[in-house]
Amino acid sequence: MEKICKRCVSNHSISSLKLDTNGICQFCKIHDEMEAEYPLNENSFKELIKISDKIKKEGKDKKFDCVVGVSGGKDSSYLLYLVKEKLNLRPLAVHYDNGFDSDTSVSNILRVCEKLDVELETKVANWEKFKDITRAFFLAGVSDPDTPTDVGIFKSMYEVAYKEKIKYVFNGHSFRTEGIEPLDWTYMDGLYVKDVNKKFGKTSLDKFDNFELKDLIKYNFISGIQTILPLNYIEYKQEKVIKILQENFDWINYGGHHHESLLTKFVVSYYLPKKFGIDRRRTGLSALIRSGQLKRDKAIEILNVPPILNDEIELKNYILDKLDISEKDFELIMNKENKNFKNFFTYYNLFKNFKFLAKIFYKLKFIPKILYLRYFGG
């Protein structure tokens, strides 16, 4: 019998899934805690305006008020629009180019930045380093081979903010539409990157944009850079957002969630379903159920149809060729024992042992509540 939450569609494919006596999972409880802290009412947007006014006041003598990470996807594109047009802030858009951007994502980034008259800074990854480290993650047989990308995105945003003396980094995550990704599906940690690279990589981490504990201390705790999640304060509905983006910026819909990156498209639509039986659509669909935007029966109906890639063979060959992974090696990867971050050295146990400090940092707004709950709330 399938182990599945009675409220959302989180199931046994999440090894850390915990159901209470009523059959409700820990991710639903995290959602409810977030709803209690960020309720949608007549004061929600006023609170966001209050935050933006404070940021504006602090940045009056600077060129930029905040950093906004952009990928060409709907969330970051809309966030940039919200920050510039609705909050009247002066953002600096930052993009991390890992060599796997789709033409659609690049076009969306350039078009939105140009029409909003927002300056764009692109951090281009050192390709040979990035290729080898990403290849190492595939060879390790872990569930999150796009971790080097996530690490690079974080490092580039905070690095630029630090360089420009900007105190605020805006993030386009919404717990109501994206949900809470299980740690055993995707985990980001500089020590994790180091250990995977040590065991499966061929190169050093020099010139790779790793994000280690020392970076967290430098950027967040010493420099006081804070992460803001504006989408928590507004009613965020995907259909409405896409319509706004298309009407204002001729924004192009790239298809599935996170398909703006060809690497992530391959990971979520081919690698994870075939090797791990993981369908990362569950996270977003569960979030939509909890926020009342989707019926549970409809979500189950959607999940009954596996992720479809019209260009499956072409995309697979492109990724393997670009990462120098042979067909033989890829077959070995797909058949080897499934692993995740728990099979490697990470900061996780250190974080767990100092949970009280993490709570203080969250209370001081150095780390977002959703990040704290993702690590310690389940």
pLDDT of 1 reads: 63
Residue-averaged pLDDT of the chain: 94
142 pLDDT above the threshold of 60: yes
Average pLDDT for 171-181: 93
Average pLDDT for 17-43: 95
Question: Which one has a higher pLDDT value, 7 or 356?
Answer: 7
241 pLDDT above the threshold of 80: yes
pLDDT of 115 reads: 98
Tell the residue number behind the tokens 């050093």, with chain if given.
204
Summarize pLDDT for 287-341 with one digit per residue, the tens: 999 999 999 999 999 999 988 778 889 999 999 999 999 999 999 999 999 999 9
Question: Which one has a higher pLDDT value, 307 or 20?
Answer: 20
282 pLDDT above the threshold of 70: yes
Summarize pLDDT for 145-161 with one digit per residue, the tens: 999 999 999 999 999 99
In the beta sheet, which residues pair with residue 25?
Answer: 19
pLDDT of 362 reads: 83
Q: Which range, of 32-36, 162-166, 361-365, averages the lowest pLDDT? A: 361-365
What's the CA gap between 122 and 336, in Å, rounded? 36
378 pLDDT above the threshold of 70: no
% of residues, the chain, pLDDT over 90: 84
Could you tell me the domains of the chain? 42-278+310-346 (3.40.50.620)
What's the CA gap between 45 and 329, in Å, rounded? 51
Summarize pLDDT for 205-215 with one digit per residue, the tens: 998 999 998 99
pLDDT of 187 reads: 94
Summarize pLDDT for 64-110 with one digit per residue, the tens: 999 999 999 999 999 999 999 999 999 999 999 999 999 999 999 99
What's the CA gap between 378 and 200, in Å, rounded? 31
Tell the residue number behind the tokens 């050192």, with chain if given.
126
